[in-house]
Amino acid sequence: MSSVDADNSAIFYTADAGASPTWYLAEGTNAWDFYTYTTIENPSDRELHARIMYMDPNPETGAGRAFQRTVTLPPLSQTTISSEPDIGEVDFSTRVECLEGETIAVDRTMYWTGEGAPCPEGHSSVAATSPSKTWYLPEGSSTWGFETWTLVQNPNGTDADVTLTYMTEDEGPIAIQKTVPAYSRGSFDMGADIGEHDSSVQVTSDLPVIAERSQYRNGRREGSCSVGAPAPATDYYLAEGTTAWGFETYLLVQNPNDSDAEVTLTFMTPDGPIGQDPFTIAANSRKTVKVSELEGLENTDLSARVHADRPVVAERSMYWNGGPDSGQACHASIGLSSTSNSFFLPDGQTSEGWQTWTLVANPHDRAVPIEVTYLPQGGGEPVSFTDTIAAGSRATYEMADKIPEGRASVLVRTLDISLPVLVERSMYSADRGLGTDTIGAFE
């Protein structure tokens, strides 16, 4: 059994320096034929309790703090909560708070079946631990058959005045003004705001808010979602990625500066790091990179480091064809602006046809020893193993190798604190006709 310190502190892109027991999820709906559930990971060795608040933006149901409930979190466990029995078929945002003030980790998964689609699709995102007055969302398109929605959660007691600045690849920035009511959420359609463009989004607000982006294509046969990043950085890391196994991987790099940015990509592969020539991204715009077209990256698993001479934001999207009749599916995730010694991944399942993969990237020039621990749904004996990841490479772990049938959260820790890593989780079902991905929350 792996012991886990009760005072571990999970932080995802917090707007301040401290850890937080509180998590926010801007996206969520049980309307429009969607189904949403929240997963909570308790890495503490004692029982905890979490209060869940659903914020309903629908005027006909009374916008505001629509419903609250408290759930018990067994020690070293995963807990999943369906929202539909609590609030019905409505759009909503979520706030989750540990009542004991200790660390928990939270993510959200949504399923739906597009009109005429042969199987469901899904998307997932880790929660944010803190509101911010600025958010960046690199991925987005309202052309090529895509629809893109920006979800802005306002957890404050007064209305928030919000500006969406669309940083297009072809026409530069376009600013649109919005208002999000108190204790509510705004859902904003890129196509309705600016027409057909490939574009990143910058969200600015007079009050601290939380922003996510959802994107769909082919009559919602496929879709992806990710929380935003509250700040750009000169380095972003993306643990997941492959040009093998029928997958296509894209990097989306957003330059929110008023001057051009020079960007260099380095990929961590099973054979070690592969660098690329630098390229330039125009001011207040976005660049899309198809990874399989880069030198030395055909038919390989990979992680990526995005380095720039001025702060940028990076995201990754992946597309693939599922089973013979399912059609194309996709998932996406924001990158990480720093490495960490511990990562928390709340969702995970190997039952009912699910596959769960943990992706761990080592950006260092020497090998990193790690420990992976699975925390079972409802608690019980955790399952742990150790491994060593070669320098400048990525390791991939399938949950079914240790938990053949069941559900579990994931905890990844480095065993050498001088060598922090990067971690994501991908999940697939319906013969890979359905796939989700998210970065982990980190310590």
Q: What is the pLDDT of residues 132-163, one digit of tens each?
A: 999 999 999 999 999 999 999 999 999 999 99
Asked whether the predicted pLDDT for residue 16 surpasses 90, the reply is: no
Radius of gyration in angstroms for the set of CA atoms belonging to the chain, rounded to a whole number:
20
- Measured CA to CA, the distance from residue 443 to residue 441 in angstroms comes to 7
pLDDT in tens, 288-338: 999 999 999 999 999 999 999 999 999 999 999 987 777 899 999 999 999
Contact between 98 and 50 (Cβ < 8 Å): yes
Report residue 12's pLDDT band, with 50, 70 and 90 as the boundaries. very low
pLDDT in tens, 346-373: 999 999 999 999 999 999 999 999 999 9
Measure CA 434 to chain center.
16
Tell me how crowded residue 26 is: count the other CB atoms within 10 A of its CB.
34
- Measured CA to CA, the distance from residue 256 to residue 277 in angstroms comes to 22
Residue 10 has a pLDDT of: 33
Report residue 56's pLDDT band, with 50, 70 and 90 as the boundaries. confident
Asked whether the predicted pLDDT for residue 15 surpasses 70, the reply is: no
Residue 326 has a pLDDT of: 79
- Average the pLDDT over 191-206 and give the result: 98
- Average the pLDDT over 21-47 and give the result: 96
- Measured CA to CA, the distance from residue 210 to residue 429 in angstroms comes to 29
Q: Quick check: helix, strand or coil at residue 193?
A: helix
**Per DSSP, what are the bridge partners of residue 313?**
254
Residue 63 has a pLDDT of: 54
Nearest Cα neighbor of 198 from 219, 184, 185, 215 is 215
Nearest Cα neighbor of 180 from 216, 147, 156 is 156
With a CB cutoff of 8 Å and minimum separation 6, the contacts of 78 are: 39, 40, 41, 42, 346, 347, 348, 375, 376, 377, 378, 407, 408, 409
Which run of H or of E encompasses 21?
none
- Which one has a higher pLDDT value, 388 or 90? 388
- Measured CA to CA, the distance from residue 131 to residue 156 in angstroms comes to 10
Residue 219 has a pLDDT of: 93
Asked whether the predicted pLDDT for residue 175 surpasses 50, the reply is: yes
- Measured CA to CA, the distance from residue 168 to residue 198 in angstroms comes to 6
- Measured CA to CA, the distance from residue 312 to residue 300 in angstroms comes to 26
Residue 14 has a pLDDT of: 32
Tell me how crowded residue 355 is: count the other CB atoms within 10 A of its CB.
15
Asked whether the predicted pLDDT for residue 61 surpasses 80, the reply is: no
- Average the pLDDT over 78-90 and give the result: 93
Residue 11 has a pLDDT of: 33
Report residue 411's pLDDT band, with 50, 70 and 90 as the boundaries. very high
Which amino acid makes up residue 18?
G
Tell me how crowded residue 286 is: count the other CB atoms within 10 A of its CB.
28
Q: Which of 233-237, 270-274, 322-326, 358-362 has the lowest mean pLDDT?
A: 322-326
Contact between 237 and 361 (Cβ < 8 Å): yes
Contact between 314 and 267 (Cβ < 8 Å): no
Asked whether the predicted pLDDT for residue 172 surpasses 70, the reply is: yes
Q: Where are any strands of DSSP class E within 129-258?
A: 132-137, 146-154, 160-168, 172-180, 184-189, 199-217, 222-227, 233-238, 247-255
* Tokens at 217, concatenated: 């294509």
Tracing tokens 């505001």 back to the chain, one arrives at: 64
Mean pLDDT of the chain: 92
Contact between 8 and 412 (Cβ < 8 Å): no
Residue 19 has a pLDDT of: 43
- Measured CA to CA, the distance from residue 106 to residue 51 in angstroms comes to 12
- Average the pLDDT over 6-16 and give the result: 32
* Tokens at 25, concatenated: 């999820």
Asked whether the predicted pLDDT for residue 9 surpasses 60, the reply is: no
Q: What is the DSSP letter of 41?
A: E
- What is the pTM assigned to this prediction? 0.94
Which amino acid makes up residue 23?
W
Burial (CB count within 10 angstroms: exposed 0-12, middle 13-18, buried 19+), residue 397: buried
Nearest Cα neighbor of 377 from 81, 101, 58 is 81
- Which one has a higher pLDDT value, 67 or 354? 354
* Tokens at 105, concatenated: 């980790």
Q: Which of 56-65, 269-278, 400-409 has the lowest mean pLDDT?
A: 56-65
Burial (CB count within 10 angstroms: exposed 0-12, middle 13-18, buried 19+), residue 101: exposed
Q: Concatenated DSSP letters for 96-135?
A: EEETT----EEEEEEEE--TT-SS-EEEEEEPBSS-EEEE
